Amino acid sequence: MAEIKEEILVNESGLNFVEQIIKEDLEAGKNGGRLNTRFPPEPNGYLHIGHAKAIIMDFGAAEKFGGTCNLRFDDTNPQKEDTEYVNAIMEDIHWLGYDWEDRLYYASDYFQQLFDLACRMILEDKAYVDEQTSEEIAAQKGTPTTPGQNSPYRNRPVEESLDLFKRMNEGEFEEGRYVLRAKIDMAHSNMHFRDPIMYRIIKTPHWRTGTTWKVYPMYDFAHGQSDYFEGVTHSICTLEFVPHRPLYEYFVKELADETYCPRQIEFNRLNLTYTVMSKRKLLQLVKEGLVRGWDDPRMPTLCGLRRRGYTPSAIKDFVNRIGYTKYEALNHIELLEHSIREDLNKTATRVSVVQNPVKLILTNYPEDKVEMMHMDNNPEDPNAGQHEMPFAREIWIEGEDFMENPPKKFFRLAPDKEVRLKGAYIIKCTGVKKDEEGNIVEIYAEYDPDTKSGMPGSERKVKGTLHWVAVNSAVKAEVRDYDRLFSVENPSAEEGDFRDLLNPNSLKVRENVMLEPWLAERVKAGDHYQFQRLGYYTVDPDTTADHIVFNKTIGLKDTWAKEMKK
Ligand code: ATP
Ligand code: MG
């Protein structure tokens, strides 16, 4: 299991190690003082929070140093790619606050140039067509300590390889029948140099280039060259590409002269506890209906986090806190939750909502009277102002806020005990009514008219303060409460099927939640609120004129702060 590390490589100027490299290159006048990064997603799934870390690096560094960042779709495998993903990726990058302007590219733009380069390499005896099965090729690969074996087709005449490669592309052969390999060194200490595959046959039509191509370049033969064609100066990626770097440079040198080669720099991936980050696994969760879609608020996808109520600034704050290093790490989800809590604490309007309502009747309050109480919109923000909330004889309070036989430290409501109703009066419980099974159906209390909040006499103190909503004006809503998607800390490190590790209680739907009327009137998908004493909630896009739906973004209790004190 990956070790949990929060070590961050930043220097005194606050730059991370990648930014330090960029700064040095710029100061040394490399590439004519130009900075051009790129973000290269493969459109085979939705972006997740790990991609956000890469986006913030690629676009963020360009922003910081006055450079540019390209968006390039790495669309080299038509079997898995789709325009649905392309559109979703663009939406998510914009949501994070970045823009590629006129620098939108596709690796498929370079298929002709890459094909021409491959033909030239064949002619120069630097590539050959192999016709062994992938199993045979794998068996000849050797190990890091033992050399591999040459393919029997390695010395196929140049003209024959060229002819076969062209016929591969014309669709004459089935998938897997032939591959094009670089002729480098089957005994090389870097396994990636042992005659890597450059091209394979794929018959599935490509969503952009249709049936023009039947051979498609492998990542290693496409990525560096694409960077080169675009004039990318710093090609920033994740640590698993460290061993690919020499091959990246090897292929780029087939095109470049000495003056320019894009520089690959690697940083550690973002991994989150109680989450999986592999696109393959996320796709499986969606396809098998184990979540409600790519934007299910339990998913680590950017659209899922957005629907859950996460904000771009909270995600940036989190990425900034975990930093960019050279060590693989597993990041605590509590830290991400800390970031969103901090952000919403500053911005979310406070409202009164009762999620598990039980009726409380103030027997000494006039039956038809309604008073408007003044509630603070956000005590953290002096300019946020107040809104009005009706108070009446019958109100909803939380079932959990009443106990008939409370333990000593219970400072909420109990027979003969007093509490303050937030923004209203102090009340004293006088009794309860139960049904035949002994469940409490109504609570009775008397209010003290001299204790109205904000009025003279209101200074009298009691230990507990409860939130509430008046029954007559309350509006019913649905609230979706979420827990961790997985029940183990590091699902990717466990043996067996990851689906068996899903938390069966990750979604709890509450149908009978009572909102104060002021809130119900203004709900708009995506808006954030703090429900007093309960947590932060975000309006779900499923909301319609007569059915309001909220997602619980996060509770109020900061488990990260607790973690830090240990
Ligand atoms: P695949 O398994 O399909 O290759 P991928 O997550 O690497 O998945 P890409 O679309 O290739 O997906 O990723 C685009 C960019 O995002 C790459 O530069 C990759 O290094 C970066 N990236 C992907 N996952 C993470 C992560 N967890 N943390 C940081 N960067 C990531
Ligand atoms: Mg990848």
Distance (angstroms) between ligand 2 centre and the Cα of 290 equals: 24
Nearest CA to ligand 1 atom 1: 279
Treating both helix axes as pointing N-terminal to C-terminal, what angle do 111-123 and 219-230 enclose, rounded to 10 degrees? 110
Q: Which residues pair with 402 in a beta bridge?
A: 413
H or E stretch covering 559? helix 559-565
For 477, the token pair is 């809503």
Q: Is the CB of 448 under 6 A from ligand 1?
A: no
Amino acid in position 22: I
Note the ligand closest to the C-alpha atom of 301: 1
Distance (angstroms) between ligand 1 centre and the Cα of 219 equals: 13
Closest CA to 85 of 132, 147, 43, 133: 43
Euclidean distance between CA atoms 281 and 291, whole angstroms: 12
Q: Is the CB of 223 under 6 A from ligand 1?
A: no
Euclidean distance between CA atoms 4 and 74, whole angstroms: 31
Note the ligand closest to the C-alpha atom of 39: 1
Q: Is the CB of 300 under 6 A from ligand 1?
A: no
Between CA 311 and CA 321, with CA 316 as vertex, the angle to 5 degrees is 130
Euclidean distance between CA atoms 469 and 359, whole angstroms: 10
Closest CA to 512 of 476, 548, 475, 469: 476
Q: Which residues pair with 514 in a beta bridge?
A: 354, 476
Question: Given the DSSP bridges, would you call strands 507-515 and 475-482 parallel, antiparallel or unpaired?
Answer: antiparallel
Amino acid in position 117: L
Euclidean distance between CA atoms 58 and 61, whole angstroms: 6
Distance (angstroms) between ligand 1 centre and the Cα of 41 equals: 7
Residue to substitute in 18, 53, 55, 238 for testing ligand 1 pocket (most ligand atoms within 8 angstroms of CB) = 238
What pTM, to 2 d.p., does this model score? 0.94
Nearest CA to ligand 1 atom 16: 51
pLDDT of residue 14: 85
Please check whether residue 55 is in contact with residue 93, taking contact to mean a CB–CB distance below 8 angstroms.
yes
Torsion sign (Cα): 541, 276, 91, 75: negative
Amino acid in position 507: L
Closest CA to 53 of 235, 302, 389, 355: 302
Note the ligand closest to the C-alpha atom of 74: 1
pLDDT of residue 566: 59
Cα dihedral: 484, 490, 495, 496 (round 10)? 20
Nearest CA to ligand 1 atom 27: 50
Euclidean distance between CA atoms 37 and 73, whole angstroms: 14
Euclidean distance between CA atoms 322 and 220, whole angstroms: 29
Residue to substitute in 42, 220, 267, 324 for testing ligand 1 pocket (most ligand atoms within 8 angstroms of CB) = 42
E strand residue ranges, 169-246? 179-182, 197-201, 215-217, 234-238
Q: In 171-301, which residue ranges form alpha helices assigned H by DSSP?
A: 219-230, 245-253, 279-287
List Cα–Cα distances, 243 to 126, 238, 265, 266, in angstroms: 21, 11, 12, 10
Residue numbers annotated as active site: 42, 269, 279
Distance (angstroms) between ligand 1 centre and the Cα of 76 equals: 15
Closest CA to 440 of 398, 391, 408, 478: 398
Please check whether residue 429 is in contact with residue 417, taking contact to mean a CB–CB distance below 8 angstroms.
yes
Between CA 498 and CA 183, with CA 39 as vertex, the angle to 5 degrees is 85
Residue tagged 């970031």 (tokens): 339
Euclidean distance between CA atoms 96 and 84, whole angstroms: 19
pLDDT of residue 531: 98
φ, ψ dihedrals at 104, nearest 5°: -100, 120
Q: Is the CB of 238 under 6 A from ligand 1?
A: yes
Residue to substitute in 51, 237, 490 for testing ligand 1 pocket (most ligand atoms within 8 angstroms of CB) = 51
Q: Is the CB of 319 under 6 A from ligand 1?
A: no
Euclidean distance between CA atoms 59 and 36, whole angstroms: 10
- Kindly report the number of other CB atoms within 10 A of residue 19's CB atom: 19
pLDDT in tens, the chain (566 residues): 344 444 456 666 789 999 999 999 999 999 999 999 999 999 999 999 999 999 999 999 999 999 999 999 999 999 998 899 999 999 999 999 999 999 999 999 999 999 999 999 999 999 999 999 999 999 999 999 999 999 999 999 999 999 999 999 999 999 999 999 999 999 999 999 999 999 999 999 999 999 999 999 999 999 999 999 999 999 999 999 999 999 999 999 999 887 899 999 999 999 999 999 999 999 999 999 999 999 999 999 999 999 999 999 999 999 999 999 999 999 999 999 999 999 999 999 999 999 999 999 999 999 999 999 999 999 999 899 999 999 999 999 999 999 999 999 999 999 999 999 999 999 999 999 999 999 999 999 999 999 999 888 778 889 999 999 999 999 999 999 999 999 999 999 999 999 999 999 999 999 999 999 999 999 999 999 999 999 999 999 999 999 999 999 999 988 777 666 65
Closest CA to 116 of 60, 183, 181, 162: 162
3-state DSSP assignment of residue 312: helix
Spatial CB neighbours of 82, under 8 Å, sequence gap ≥ 6: 43, 44, 207
Euclidean distance between CA atoms 166 and 115, whole angstroms: 9
Domains annotated on the chain, with CATH: 15-267 (3.40.50.620), 279-349+477-565 (2.40.240.10), 353-467 (2.40.240.10)
Spatial CB neighbours of 459, under 8 Å, sequence gap ≥ 6: none
Cα dihedral: 268, 273, 279, 281 (round 10)? 140
Question: Given the DSSP bridges, would you call strands 548-554 and 104-106 parallel, antiparallel or unpaired?
Answer: unpaired
Cα dihedral: 65, 67, 71, 77 (round 10)? -90
Residue tagged 């799934």 (tokens): 45
